[in-house]
Structure 1
Amino acid sequence: MTKFSIVTGLGAAALLATSAAAQWVPGSEIAGQTVQVETNGVVNNITFEPGGTARITTPNGNVVPASWTANAGQLCLNSGGAQECFPYNQPFQAGQTVNATSSCGATSRWLANSTNQPAQPQTRGERG
Structure 2
Amino acid sequence: MEKEKQTVKSELDDLRTQIEHLQKGEAAAEKLSKQLEQHLNRIQTKIEDHVKQITDLNHSKTKLSSENSDLTRQIEEFQRQIGTLNKAKTALQQQLDEAKRTLDDELRGKGSVSNYYHRY
Q: TM-score, normalised by structure 2?
A: 0.15
- Structure possessing the higher relative contact order (Cα contacts under 8 Å, 6 or more residues apart): 1
Larger Rg computed on CA atoms: 2
When you count helix as a share of all residues, which structure comes out higher? 2
When you count strand as a share of all residues, which structure comes out higher? 1
Q: TM-score, normalised by structure 1?
A: 0.14
